[in-house]
Amino acid sequence: MLPLALGIDIGTSGSRAVAMRPDFSMVARAAMPLERFGANGRDPAVWWAAVEATLKELFSRIDRATVRAIAVDGTSGTLLPVDGVGRPLAEPLMYNDKVSDAAILAAVADVAPEASAAHGPTSGLAKALWFQRLPGVYAVLHQADWIAGQFSGRFDVSDENNSLKTGYDAEAHRWPEWIAATGMRMELLPTVVRPGALTGRLTAAAADLFGLPRDVAVVAGTTDGCASFLATGAATAGDGVTALGSSLTIKILSDRPVSAPRYGIYSHRLGDVWLAGGASNTGGKVLTQHFSLARIVELSAAIDPATETGLDYYPLGSAGERFPVAEPTLQPRLLPRPESDADYLKAMLEGIAAIEALGYQRLAELGAPKLTSVRSVGGGSANAAWTAIRQRKLGVDFPPPLSDEAAAGAARLALMGAKDAGLL
């Protein structure tokens, strides 16, 4: 039997897991909704109950004796305070929760470098500063750190990707000195390692719970966004991934970090390369303001993607854009409207594709490599007419993604850790 690595993705709605062979092929997958285990999706006990049930479902489909490593990804910027044995001391602050304490926000703004991802009310550092006030706090952890700790017993370690918004300097491989100037107690911040690094082995309790060998490696994970990128198989500088969901998000592998806070661009370190990207306010949500999903499918079948409407649209649901242009008051541009609904949809698809192309161009202007390929994920990637329009405007290869599941990206990191530990 070939050895397997497990990737676990804990998101806002549920838990997912995949078992992966060393050749990156997936043997099995399982998923569980958080709501099955409690109404409060931000309760760590609900997270863990969902992960436990997901893994038990996965293990019903594989030989658990072949498992060699586990890695976890979680929502970026979700933090919780714990005591010395990993027990949560308060309800976590989720990735989109804001710290409203003006003194905390000012303390970060006064000393954080402009390029740091620690700015703003949703930053990990603002949340860590809030949580350190609690009595008995031993560490402030990211969501993925805490889940991984349930396997390894370690509640003092994180990865470079989850730690970025908490102020970690991925270029220097350290927590920078300026963080202490915010009033943060540095001893509460976890030790940081690269994604894919070995952080421990299963505890006896975890091994018994799941019926796994004690020598299974626990490997440092990543954020859900980085895991989704890794899952696609993009692996060389110039490879891009576009997520066509309610919004438009693009990322590219770069041989150097790219930082442009004005555009919301920061770079995650992935070994010897960097993952840079940005998110536009355009995307599928704009389309569904005008047409139902069924109508979009119907109209798309009537579109000729090889021709241009000649309409210069900038589809937005409301005023304001950050990337690839930084204009808080930018107005949607969706006129004139042609008589044909199919032409109207086509012009919007052309406009979103043009924004995507401008996004990759902007990243290149800021130091990223020239785009060489694009892998597409998200609901919009299934639209053949839109894909053809995008291919024409971007002018690069569109290889199919190996997977669009974040758990598969975490599994790739688990494989990396297993190989480094000599378990494969």
234: tokens are: 């993009």
Residue 412: in which H helix or E strand, if any?
A: helix 406-420
CA distance 245 to 230: 18
Number of H helices, E strands in the chain: 11, 15
Strand partners, 72: 8
- What is the predicted pLDDT for the residue at 320? 96
Q: State residue 6 phi and psi, 5-degree precision.
A: -110, 135
Closest CA to 92 of 28, 35, 129, 140: 140
Q: State residue 359 phi and psi, 5-degree precision.
A: -65, -50
- What is the predicted pLDDT for the residue at 284? 95
Contacts of 131 (CB under 8 A, 6+ apart): 79, 80, 81, 89, 90, 93, 137, 140
Are residues 412 and 402 in contact, defined by beta-carbon separation less than 8 angstroms?
no
> CA-CA distances (angstroms) from residue 87 to 41, 78, 132, 136?
17, 16, 15, 11
Number of other CB atoms surrounding residue 152 within 10 Å: 20
268: tokens are: 């995650």
DSSP track, 275-327 = EEEEEES-SHHHHHTTS-HHHHHHHHTT--TTS------B--SSS-B-SSS-B
Residue 174: how many CA atoms within 13 Å on its side-chain side?
6
Residues in the chain: 424
Are residues 254 and 237 in contact, defined by beta-carbon separation less than 8 angstroms?
yes
- What is the predicted pLDDT for the residue at 43? 97
404: tokens are: 């669009």
CA distance 265 to 277: 6
160: tokens are: 């470079």
CA distance 349 to 389: 8
Contacts of 127 (CB under 8 A, 6+ apart): 77, 79, 93, 97, 99, 140
Domains defined along the chain, listed by start: 4-226+406-420 (3.30.420.40), 236-394 (3.30.420.40)
- What is the predicted pLDDT for the residue at 97? 95
Are residues 148 and 72 in contact, defined by beta-carbon separation less than 8 angstroms?
yes
Closest CA to 182 of 77, 103, 93: 103
Q: Averaged in consecutive runs of 10 residues, what is the pLDDT profile of the chain (424 residues)?
A: 95 95 96 96 97 98 97 96 97 96 98 94 97 97 98 98 97 97 98 97 98 96 95 96 94 96 92 94 96 97 98 97 95 97 98 98 97 96 97 98 96 96 88
Residue 216 region by backbone torsions, left for phi larger than 0, else alpha for psi between -120 and 50, else beta: beta
Are residues 58 and 27 in contact, defined by beta-carbon separation less than 8 angstroms?
no
pTM here is 0.93
**CB-based burial label for 39 (10 Å; 0-12, 13-18, 19+):** exposed
Report the alpha-carbon angle 350-356-360, nearest 5.
145
CA distance 201 to 130: 32
CA distance 263 to 385: 29
Per 3-state DSSP, the chain is made up of helix, strand and coil in percentages (nearest 5) of 35, 25, 40
- What is the predicted pLDDT for the residue at 1? 79
What type of residue sits at position 14?
G
